[in-house]
Chain A
Amino acid sequence: MLTILQKEITSYLSSLVAYVTIGVFLLVLGLFLWVFPDTSILDYGYADLGNMFSTIPYLFMFLIPAITMRSLAEEKKEGTFELLATRPITDWQIVLGKYFACLLLVLLALLPTLVYVYSVHQLGNPIGNLDVGAVIGSYIGLFLLGGTFVAIGIFASSITKNQIIAFTLAVFMCFFMFSGFDSLSGLLSFQNSEIQNLGINEHYGAISRGVLDTRDLVYFLSMIGLFLLFTKTVLGGRKW
């Protein structure tokens, strides 16, 4: 599994994919947080990062599928999957290797945002007037959310040979898993069903408040496990 992970990271870093997607992610986030007046922290007047943590999931919705779309779709299209599948490694090792490689890239994209935390920390009056608990909680939430999106993206990439289809499907599935259930819960017939608990937003919101509840943790881990299991099943499907 580590072998696959290492190879994936090498090929991401030696092509432009990683740099461009991460660069664009940071650029857009920077614009939203400091420049665009509607969402700018400077105009908002409070030293608060809530805006950042509510924007990132929507950026992740595009960033993560862009990273994951090639992982399995390209292997299948180029035929290199045959190379992997005839070597002494299991399908699980392939799936997990790819999963953790993409997750690592997502972490790499998150790392520079710590600069914004520091900036806002300095901007507070008095300096350091920032809800640290909520920030840490939000980062844990983002990490889990990223992990879930990566699992969804890898799954989308496994069911097709076409990267564009993989990307589109992943964006849709991420969006639906994130806020689709919230919207459904607004429907009249679902109003008392608490269906929003199936969506990511509900759990992400809970963790962002700085409360790490095992129910939320279990939710994210089971979502990740579920999509990875789907992926493994699809890969095994060549044995029809």
Chain B
Amino acid sequence: MQSNTSSTTIDTDVTFRVENTDYYYGSFLAVKGVNFDVPARKITALIGPSGCGKSTVLRCFNRLNDLIPGAHINGKIYFDGEDLYSPRVDPTELRRRVGMVFQKSNPFPKSIYENIAFGARINGYRGNMDELVEQSLRGAALWDEVKDKLSESGLSISGGQQQRLCIARAIAIEPEVLLMDEPCSALDPISTLQIEDLMQELKTNFTIVIVTHNMQQAARISDNTAFFNARQTDKGGKQGYLVEYASTETIFNDPAQQATRDYVSGRFG
């Protein structure tokens, strides 16, 4: 995929480029006309009220929305310069390169060790598995807490630990990108802080895109912020759209749009 970069004008420091993309579920237009670039090795936050489609946008970056019958896009999303929805892209291989952490921690009903090793094994990892497990757990700041109980169930540890296990699982397959869908919304403040600190460390190696409901969190951790909003359609549904995309500092201190100003100052949403 890298070799194609030269044939386009896209900056190599851009991981994802979303060009005029509409997101559909069947005939329902969920998010309309999105344009923005996700820079490499930075944290990009997607914020906005419920139903504005930020999760939909996120879940197309690893084509997880392919699993929903009828979900499709109209437009172009480029990943490292290559069309993400080209028939030549194998979604399973793509997901090895674009990892994901979910809103609710969802460890497999397997041991802590196997939770990490599973992804590596199915992707044909040929290195030392013990080392990979340790390195991934260290990377997720979890090693010291679980090193003596690697054979215990991934469901036996606390919620915050489970979420870090899910991060360890995601980075174990050495992806280029980490997608995070409200990763802290089910966690207590201390676990949340641990994960935020972790994200700052991870961004030296990974491009991170995070959906969050928590504006303070977006302001604390992200480099760029995309604000999505929703409007009522004639049929009574909600249609999301991208209001504004800029550096996080601009979005929170000097946004160009009144709607953004109202949202970040807590006047709605």
Q: Do A and B bind each other?
A: no
Residues of A whose CB lies within 8 Å of any CB of B are none
